[in-house]
């Protein structure tokens, strides 16, 4: 009797164990009833299954999965063979389609990524594959999502890890880069020389302008000084003439003028005899008084003319 009770309890415990299941967080369990799809449990927690009639057919992780895309050979548009590998990030969004749409969704997506990558590489030239990796990744993701929608998975992103061209192509690329750097260096050097020549020319031009401005200012200053000197001489001469005229009009002025004329007359004849071998003399050279009187007569005539005017 006790053995029967124990047996019943053991069977009940086994049945309870088979009925109660715990679904982990971020997992989806696909349940089949009599071999046919029934329900999906993906909330996490306890579930109850009827033994024999129900079973857990598939289990899928709802986390983002990393799928390594093996290295493969692809030919570019300009017929260069490249060896490319990458990594794919996918996530199950429909557990039912992932269970019944394809036998292995991750393997299928990896194969699709390889074929899509070869097709996209074939549309580009070699240089574009290095310059537009982001565009290439985006195109592959879009192509995978268009085809893999019925498999219940979604490609979140795709990243190319390495692009390895042949050795000969690498050598040619290195030569091209060296030539390009040499070209840029020559351009920079020539631009530097050009800027230096422009600066020197600008400096020479500025120097000539400054020198011409200095010469012009010097000439202006000299002309101003000469004009001022001439003006001062003229003023001094005028003052002297006015003083002489005033002195002549004073008492005894005529006698002084006569004496001064006689002195200058004699001095002129003495200088003339020293500087020339031929001398023309007036008829009455022995009579200095008559010559002085004649000079004074001329002086009085000029003075009368000035008063008349």
pLDDT along the chain (309 residues), means of 10: 68 68 86 88 81 85 88 84 87 89 87 87 82 83 85 88 76 76 86 89 88 88 88 83 71 64 65 58 56 61 56
**According to the model, what pLDDT value does residue 15 have?**
67
Range(s) of the domain holding residue 147: 65-165
Q: Does a structural domain hold residue 131?
A: yes
Residue 47, in any domain of the structure: yes
Task: Please name the residues in contact with 47: beta carbons below 8 A apart, sequence gap of 6 or more.
Answer: 20, 21, 22, 23, 29, 31, 41
Final residue belonging to a domain, choices 149, 165, 181: 165
Does residue 24 sit in the same domain as residue 87?
A: no
52 and 98 in a single domain? The answer is: no
Residue 219 falls inside a structural domain:
no
Q: Which of 165, 186, 219 is the last residue of a domain?
A: 165
| Residue partners of 191: CB distance under 8 A and separation at least 6 | none
Q: Are residues 9 and 51 in the same domain?
A: yes
Note whether 129 and 53 are same-domain residues: no
Q: Into how many domains does the chain fold?
A: 3
Would you say residue 205 lies in a domain?
Answer: no
pLDDT at site 291? 60
77 and 51 within one domain = no
Are residues 69 and 47 part of one domain? Answer: no
pLDDT of residue 41: 86
Say if residue 71 is in the same domain as residue 139: yes
Evaluate whether residue 183 is within a structural domain. Answer: no
> What pLDDT does residue 68 have?
87
**Residue 81 · residue 166 · CB < 8 Å:** yes
Looking at 11, 42, 61, the residue that finishes a domain is 61
Q: Is residue 72 part of a domain?
A: yes
Q: Please give the pLDDT value at position 254.
A: 64
Q: What is the pLDDT of residue 89?
A: 92
Question: Does residue 128 sit within a domain?
Answer: yes
* CATH code for position 138: 3.30.479.30
CA atoms within 13 A on the CB side of 221: 6
Of 92, 72, 210, the C-alpha closest to 148 is 92
Backbone angles phi, psi at 132, to 5 degrees: -120, 50
The answer to whether position 243 is within a domain reads no
What does the pLDDT read at residue 102? 85
């Amino acid at each position: 009797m006790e053995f029967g009770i124990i047996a019943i309890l053991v069977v009940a415990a086994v049945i309870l164990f088979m009925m109660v299941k715990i679904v982990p967080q971020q997992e989806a369990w696909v349940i089949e009833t009599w071999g046919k799809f029934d329900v999906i449990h993906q909330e996490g927690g306890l579930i109850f299954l009827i033994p024999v009639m129900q079973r857990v057919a598939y289990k899928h992780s709802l986390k983002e999965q990393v799928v390594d895309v093996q290295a493969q050979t692809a030919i570019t548009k300009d017929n260069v063979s490249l060896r490319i590998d990458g990594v794919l990030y996918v996530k199950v969004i429909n557990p039912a389609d992932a269970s019944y749409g394809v036998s292995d969704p991750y393997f299928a997506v990896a194969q699709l990524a390889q074929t899509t990558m070869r097709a996209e590489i074939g549309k580009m030239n070699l240089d574009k594959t290095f310059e537009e990796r982001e565009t290439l990744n985006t195109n592959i993701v879009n192509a995978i999502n268009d085809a893999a929608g019925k498999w219940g998975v979604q490609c979140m992103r795709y990243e190319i890890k390495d692009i390895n061209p042949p050795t000969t192509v690498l050598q040619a690329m290195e030569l091209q880069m060296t030539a390009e750097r040499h070209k840029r260096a020559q351009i920079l050097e020539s631009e530097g020389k050009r800027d230096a020549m422009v600066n020197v020319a600008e400096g020479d031009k500025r120097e000539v302008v400054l020198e011409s401005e200095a010469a012009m200012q010097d000439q202006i200053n000299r002309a101003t000084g000469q004009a001022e000197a001439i003006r001062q001489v003229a003023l001094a001469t005028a003052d002297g003439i006015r003083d002489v005229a005033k002195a002549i009009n004073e008492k005894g002025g005529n006698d002084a003028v006569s004496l001064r004329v006689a002195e200058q007359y004699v001095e002129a004849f003495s200088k003339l005899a020293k500087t020339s071998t031929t001398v023309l003399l007036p008829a009455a050279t022995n009579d200095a008084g008559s010559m002085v009187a004649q000079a004074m007569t001329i002086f009085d005539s000029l003075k009368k003319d000035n008063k008349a005017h």
